[in-house]
Amino acid sequence: MAVERTLSIIKPDATRRNLTGKINAKFEDGGLRIIAQKRVQLSKAQAEQFYGVHRERPFFGDLVSFMISGPVVLQVLEGENAIARNREIMGATNPANAAEGTIRKEFAESIEANSVHGSDAPETAAQEIAFFFAGIELVG
């Protein structure tokens, strides 16, 4: 297994309910290290670009509106197999299908307001990290 980095976003439904600390504890207890973190308000253009791969999906407009409905916490997580590990800790996209103990099972409100984003592959992780962070901000 290799040490990897992945982009995580704590979404507006979770920041609104003051769940940042509880979600971070799941990452840290799960063996991931938070090597960068910042709380920001995304612009519409940033959210549209970030989720550009979903532009043709019927939920795209609602997803962008949701992602700019309040602050998000952008993070880089590091650890062994971090991309897959983070997706295990997050749980399935739809909380109805998420395993016990996962972030989405415990905290997600719906398939859209599902509390966290995590990169899905090494190439997207590298792109997503570079989209939000400068190299100097990553302190491993």
What residues are designated binding site for ATP? 11, 59, 87, 93, 104, 114
> Judged by CB under 6 A, does residue 8 bind ligand IDP?
no
Q: Which of 8, 6, 14 is nearest to 110 (CA)?
A: 14
Residue from 31, 33, 34, 63 binding ligand IDP (CB under 6 A): 63
Catalytic: 54?
Answer: no
25 vs 1, 51, 63, 84, CA distance in Å?
Answer: 23, 26, 26, 18
> Judged by CB under 6 A, does residue 120 bind ligand IDP?
yes
- CA angle centred on 71, ends 51 and 69, rounded to 5°: 65
> Judged by CB under 6 A, does residue 69 bind ligand IDP?
no
CA distance 58 to 118: 21
Stretch that binds ligand IDP, among 17-25, 40-48, 78-86, 110-118 (CB under 6 A): 110-118
CB of 59 to ligand IDP, least distance (A): 4
Catalytic residue among 26, 117, 128, 132: 117
Stretch that binds ligand IDP, among 23-31, 74-82, 114-122, 125-133 (CB under 6 A): 114-122
> Judged by CB under 6 A, does residue 111 bind ligand IDP?
yes
CB of 139 to ligand IDP, least distance (A): 26
The one-letter code for the residue type at 75 is Q
Q: Count CB atoms within 10 A of the CB of residue 105.
A: 17
- Residue given tokens 């916490």 in the structure block: 73
98 vs 12, 48, 83, 90, CA distance in Å?
Answer: 19, 26, 17, 8
Residues that bind ligand IDP (CB under 6 A): 59, 63, 93, 111-112, 114, 117, 120
